[in-house]
């Protein structure tokens, strides 16, 4: 498949790994890039800018293919030295950056001066238009189905993608809810030029997380997610476990503070889930696409299967309905 995104990023298949806190590490990112997609390592997964720099070097030891880095700009429990993480990207000669959460405006002059392709992930048409105006090379448009932060408008991809493609000139990556070739073919039909997958890549052999998490995704249906932090206008879709249910119950009270929730929603605590396999150790991110996950293939098998399925679907089913 050849799309404006495969051309822009120099990749073989229109399949991109989403920025995933605690999961976007070198091994998985390199595997996605080696499979012909675009692997992405997540800056804030690494406790210091120096550690992040080492992870970039680790990806380069594993692949010579293009890869990107994610920089998430959202409220955090502890201050993050964003400028230092950005300096590491610039010094390392990174060529593709995925920003998410807030507008990347403060960092755009530095990114553009370095010739970096910035992909801004956003959940509304108005934010996508702003990203285009700022000089982003592409946008990743996240529908309400997505894991992580779906925004506050709750618009699913079926409406959001066509609306975005009606008004944008830059390429669009469809994000949220993708996990198979049907999703890829649908995304292309809706006006996108590639798909972005997070949860689906969690359930692969190369994801450096405990097997219990992968098995939980295979077992989960599409209703196994919760929306938390709605009352803080910082909604996050996570796997529905005991901690998620406790957070939702506290938010229903109406007067809960972030200080009260912090011990429950803390990312550091959530990281224990991936490390130990205790699914109730903290909150962990997953999307509705869990309902479509039935196996734990290698990244190569997964990417090739998705592309082959989409190709067959377009050739046989979609062309087949024409008379």
Find, among 128, 127, 55, 124, the residue nearest to 89 by Cα: 55
215 vs 234, beta carbon nearer ligand NAD: 234
Among 40, 44, 138, 188, binds ligand NAD (CB under 6 A): 44
Please report how close the Cβ of residue 126 comes to ligand NAD at its closest, in angstroms.
Answer: 21
* Phi then psi dihedrals of residue 214, to 5 deg: -65, -45
d(CA 28, CA 247): 30
Among 74, 92, 163, 248, binds ligand NAD (CB under 6 A): 74
CB-based contacts of 13, cutoff 8 Å, min separation 6? 1, 6, 35, 36, 37, 303, 306, 307
Among 229, 288, 303, 307, binds ligand NAD (CB under 6 A): 229
Answer yes or no whether residue 119 interacts with ligand NAD by CB under 6 A: no
Answer yes or no whether residue 103 interacts with ligand NAD by CB under 6 A: no
157 vs 310, beta carbon nearer ligand NAD: 157
Look up tokens 């429990």; give the residue.
Answer: 77
Answer yes or no whether residue 10 interacts with ligand NAD by CB under 6 A: no
Interface stretch with ligand NAD, choices 1-9, 90-98, 264-272, 299-307 (CB under 6 A): 264-272
207 vs 307, beta carbon nearer ligand NAD: 207
Look up tokens 């709605």; give the residue.
Answer: 230
d(CA 186, CA 217): 23
Among 51, 258, 308, 318, binds ligand NAD (CB under 6 A): 258
Interface stretch with ligand NAD, choices 61-69, 104-112, 189-197, 258-266 (CB under 6 A): 258-266
76 vs 298, beta carbon nearer ligand NAD: 76
Site for ligand NAD in 155-214 (CB under 6 A): 198
Among 20, 59, 118, 185, binds ligand NAD (CB under 6 A): 20
Answer yes or no whether residue 236 interacts with ligand NAD by CB under 6 A: yes
d(CA 100, CA 119): 9
x/- binding map, residues 49-68, to ligand NAD, per CB under 6 A? --------------------
Angle between helices 181-189 and 299-312 (to 10 degrees): 50
CA distance readout (Å), 166 to 128, 144, 186, 304:
12, 19, 16, 30
The three-state secondary structure class of 71 is: strand
d(CA 225, CA 202): 15
d(CA 205, CA 210): 10
Interface stretch with ligand NAD, choices 31-39, 61-69, 125-133, 262-270 (CB under 6 A): 262-270
Angle between helices 49-62 and 82-92 (to 10 degrees): 30
Answer yes or no whether residue 90 interacts with ligand NAD by CB under 6 A: no
Contacts with ligand NAD by CB under 6 A lie at 19-21, 44, 72, 74-77, 100-101, 148, 198, 229, 232, 234, 236, 258, 265-268, 270, 285
């Amino acid at each position: 498949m050849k799309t404006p995104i495969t051309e822009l990023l120099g990749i073989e298949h229109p399949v991109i790994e989403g920025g995933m806190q605690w999961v976007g590490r070198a091994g998985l990112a390199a595997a996605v890039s080696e499979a012909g997609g675009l692997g992405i390592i997540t800056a804030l997964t690494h406790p210091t800018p120096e550690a992040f720099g080492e992870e970039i070097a680790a990806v380069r030891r594993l692949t010579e293919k293009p890869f990107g880095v994610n920089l998430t700009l959202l409220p955090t429990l502890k201050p993050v030295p964003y400028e230092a993480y950005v300096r590491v990207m610039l010094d390392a000669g990174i060529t593709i950056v995925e920003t998410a959460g807030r507008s990347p405006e403060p960092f755009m002059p530095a990114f553009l001066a370095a010739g970096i392709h910035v992909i801004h992930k956003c959940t509304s048409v108005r934010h996508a238009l702003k990203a285009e105006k700022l000089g982003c090379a592409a946008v990743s448009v996240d529908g309400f189905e997505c894991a992580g932060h779906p925004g506050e408008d709750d618009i699913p991809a079926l409406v959001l993608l066509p609306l975005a493609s009606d008004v944008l000139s830059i390429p669009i990556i469809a994000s949220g809810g993708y996990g198979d070739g049907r999703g890829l073919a649908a995304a292309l039909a809706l006006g996108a030029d590639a798909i972005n997958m997070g949860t689906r890549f969690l359930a692969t052999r190369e994801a450096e997380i405990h097997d219990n998490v992968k098995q939980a995704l295979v077992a989960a249906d599409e209703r196994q997610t919760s929306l938390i932090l709605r009352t803080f206008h910082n909604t996050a879709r996570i796997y529905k476990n005991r901690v998620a249910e406790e957070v939702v119950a506290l938010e229903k009270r109406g007067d809960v503070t972030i200080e009260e929730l912090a011990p429950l929603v803390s990312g550091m605590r959530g990281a224990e889930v991936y490390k130990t396999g205790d699914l109730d150790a903290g909150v962990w991110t997953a999307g509705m696409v869990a309902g479509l996950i039935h196996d734990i293939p290698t990244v190569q098998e997964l990417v090739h299967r998705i592309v082959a399925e989409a190709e067959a679907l377009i050739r046989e089913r979609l062309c087949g309905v024409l008379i």
